[in-house]
Structure 1
């Protein structure tokens, strides 16, 4: 889940990740103990456990797209130190993050930069089992919301409810932590939660659970932000732009392959992470693959308007201490031309 970026300065980085330093260009041992001659080792840290948001990375690895670019890429789990902190400090070269996290980081002078949008439009929203009777934000009144304790949650709920003259103070909020959405709603602990339809919504379909889904983008253009995105840090951009270009060329190939071949891309993810539910991965990939690029001219492209819209919304709702310099928060320069 989202980490408190204010804890960044207190992070003590674990020694297991010390080998991820981007300055190390020597060959390193592969999984079978052999050195990857001539390939530059780089690392990317995920934002959460592997899922179909990450398929393009695993495709690029399996199909040899990284190797063709001269890279030996290690895909890492975030651990206690999230991807934003690890990338900002140079303990990892790249990471998976989200526009809201980067916006908060940038106004705190944390030097991370988005270099590609994994999904072109926000696929998240508030989901409730159909029997809870939540068909509009006004129906949140008298209901229990399960969240993760971030200020942005109440701000989003409040902004949606205000459109219908509803009162956010009449919503009970509990912190679900890492609790499973389906367990929480079936036990009656919560009535609704903020989910990404491409994973949790698709799983509900497989469970034959009818959901009422209120997508954020149906209520405000300003909430149509990029989530997730791929990040690096300013030092990497200044000192090693060619590696970033090579990395993004391979990643672009990976996601383009997943767009055109969702079934095989799903098989690649399942093979790489066999603990995943294969049925869910396949169904999720079928749903998500068209969403990666959607209406954009190419995969990964980002618009300044999107960054300014969401940062403006955050500032207006008291979630930022100062306005964002959107031009410095993202770049398209490393995408294939």
Structure 2
């Protein structure tokens, strides 16, 4: 499944609002989030857009920090943050409805099978954050092998089935389970006992479970035989954008690198910026700070010490890990083309990535100090 589908739906549980209210609040956020909007009338700033892939959260935080700190403005850009479209951020960028968006290497590969002509230009997340969980109160599940014969709260895509099957079999089970399609919230589906387990993210829903409940028992897919990194979350644009305006792509990439790097070095301040900038999302500051604490302490965006020293550059892609996951999904027969016909050949990771616009980490650190 495209990872944005999982994130887009489960994130709504945190705000406790309907899908309609979420869409309205995000549109309001997108309309007011650019600190440089008043300056664009003089013609000195170029208007570009960055589309969210789900509700505002800490995965998007670098864009909000870059706006608040004026990093985009320094590059001559007036950036508007857009609510995700019903068709998804990948489709919006492919058609030119948005210049840039948050996505991940896997989603780019899946979209490019359907000729979307997208590129990942900066990979922010370097570790898998997907976790597969049951309620702690469900004592019949003690490890992934106990998913056998249970009901999976799914979003309907074959990729997640392949992940669960591999985890169960690695743990000594058969990999046979029932499914129910999640309509609104995985938490709600588990609480209602319509399903026994489902997918979450350690850096967001995992934090929610720790702070507010319900308590979960969770397992990470790399620990149970799933190869590579399924969650190479980062910034995407279109091949058309690259071919027609390299200067803008370069400036946007540099600015958002600064935003994410600053957030990694100053997580509490960045949390406050996100809450203030995305005010219509009604994010809780303590919750966002805890999410950033999980991200920084877990080195989800790379070794924090190496980022601080300039040894590692936030935005660096990892095609080797991406390829392992692409190949795994291909082996499971989970790819289809635009005509819903099965595709057996895995996307080539290096063909989904364009890292020519990245600035060096040492330079980024110098610029944000």
Pair 1:155 & 2:162 matched: yes
- What does residue range 14-163 of structure 1 map to in structure 2 within 5 Å? 35=41, 37-133=43-139, 134-163=141-170
> Could you tell me how far apart the structure 2 residues matched to 1:198 and 1:90 are?
30
Pair 1:318 & 2:324 matched: no
Q: Which moved more, 1:185-194 or 1:284-293?
A: 284-293
Per the alignment, residue 309 of structure 2 pairs with none
Per the alignment, residue 306 of structure 1 pairs with 321
Contact 1:44 1:92 in 2 (8 A): yes
> Could you tell me how far apart the structure 1 residues matched to 2:249 and 2:37 are?
24
Which consecutive residues of structure 1, in runs of 5 or more, have no partner in the other structure?
A: 4-16, 21-27
Pair 1:327 & 2:350 matched: yes
> Could you tell me how far apart the structure 2 residues matched to 1:78 and 1:242 are?
25
Query: Structure 1 57/30 Cα, relative in aligned 2: closer, same or farther at 3 Å?
Result: closer
Contact 1:222 1:313 in 2 (8 A): yes
Q: How many pairs does the alignment contain? A: 313
> Could you tell me how far apart the structure 1 residues matched to 2:322 and 2:40 are?
43
Pair 1:240 & 2:245 matched: yes
Secondary structure in 1 matching 2:237: strand
Pair 1:280 & 2:287 matched: yes
Q: TM-score, normalised by structure 1?
A: 0.86
> Could you tell me how far apart the structure 2 residues matched to 1:225 and 1:181 are?
20
> Could you tell me how far apart the structure 2 residues matched to 1:88 and 1:175 are?
28
Per the alignment, residue 19 of structure 2 pairs with none
Q: CA deviation at 1:319?
A: 1.7
> Could you tell me how far apart the structure 1 residues matched to 2:122 and 2:261 are?
13
Q: CA deviation at 1:239?
A: 1.8
State which of 264, 267, 281 in structure 1 corresponds to 2:269: 264
> Could you tell me how far apart the structure 2 residues matched to 1:119 and 1:99 are?
10
Pair 1:294 & 2:302 matched: yes
Per the alignment, residue 366 of structure 2 pairs with none
Per the alignment, residue 189 of structure 2 pairs with 184
Contact 1:137 1:161 in 2 (8 A): yes
Secondary structure in 2 matching 1:122: coil
Contact 2:103 2:236 in 1 (8 A): yes
Secondary structure in 1 matching 2:204: helix
Contact 1:135 1:214 in 2 (8 A): no
Q: CA deviation at 1:30?
A: 6.8
> Could you tell me how far apart the structure 1 residues matched to 2:319 and 2:161 are?
26
Superposed CA offset, 1:3-40 (max 9, x none): 9xxxxxxxxxxxxx9xx9xxxxxxx9976697254011
> Could you tell me how far apart the structure 1 residues matched to 2:76 and 2:40 are?
16
Query: Structure 1 36/173 Cα, relative in aligned 2: closer, same or farther at 3 Å?
Result: farther
Q: CA deviation at 1:273?
A: 1.8
Q: CA deviation at 1:181?
A: 3.1
| Cα-Cα RMSD | 2.4
Pair 1:2 & 2:17 matched: no
